Amino acid sequence: MITMDDIIREGNPILEQVAEEVEIPAAEEDKQTLTEMLEYLKNSQDDETAEKYGLRPGVGLAAPQIGISKRMIAIYFEDPNGTLYEYGLFNPKIVSHSVENTYLMSGEGCLSVDREVPGYVPRHSRITVKAVTLEGKEVKLRLKGYAAVVFQHEIDHLNGTMFYDRINPEDPFAQPENSKPIE
């Protein structure tokens, strides 16, 4: 199982690299890795398991964060309306996005960043993502709100971008242009 010992921390160049596309159909090894990434997220959100293994909670995880520079992300969370987002995705790509932006009022955090970095992280309000699922199916996902933010955080990891790279250095809490906040 993946634990915090496997999580790469900022300063490691792998977090700043552009990760490689995964050959499709995915090799057993890549499917195993992506499955373990999804398991980490579930374990990290289970109080007993998280406590037992000292797991920091996460709603998403990107392969570079466990030292694998491949375009694979896992997403696991339930949104306020009760919709469950559970995905293991190969080669996710944002194929279109809204002009309007959004940001989490609470800011963002990252397993690879062992410190609080306060500030608003501007994100597209709505995105369309094309990817291949763990099961090998091509999907096109239309996402908005919190889900759109999480997917962008993970896809950024595949391109070597950390959430704090997007915070306004002059005024971290300046309202991003053309944006509506998410409580």
Ligand X SMILES: O=CN(O)CCNC(=O)c1cccc(Cl)c1Cl
- Residue numbers annotated as active site: 154
Contacts of 157 (CB under 8 A, 6+ apart): 15, 19, 62, 64, 65, 73, 112
Element spanning 29, H or E: helix 28-44
Shortest gap between Cβ of 21 and ligand X (angstroms)? 19
Quick check: 158 binds ligand X (CB under 6 A)?
no
DSSP string, 78-120: E-TTS-EEEEEEEEEEEEEE-SSEEEETT----TT--S---S-
Q: Could you tell me how many residues make up the chain? A: 183
Q: Which of residues 26-65 bind ligand X (CB under 6 A)?
A: 58-62, 65
Q: Which of residues 81-140 bind ligand X (CB under 6 A)?
A: 104, 108-112
Quick note: the x/- pattern for Ni ion over 109-148, rule CB under 5 A, is: -x--------------------------------------
Residue 28 DSSP label: H
Chosen residue from 31, 70, 126, 157 binding ligand X by CB under 6 A = 157
User: Hey, what amino acid is at 6?
Assistant: D
Nearer to ligand X, 52 or 56 (CB): 56
Give residues in contact with ligand X (CB under 6 A).
58-62, 65, 104, 108-112, 149-150, 153-154, 157
Give residues in contact with Ni ion (CB under 5 A).
110
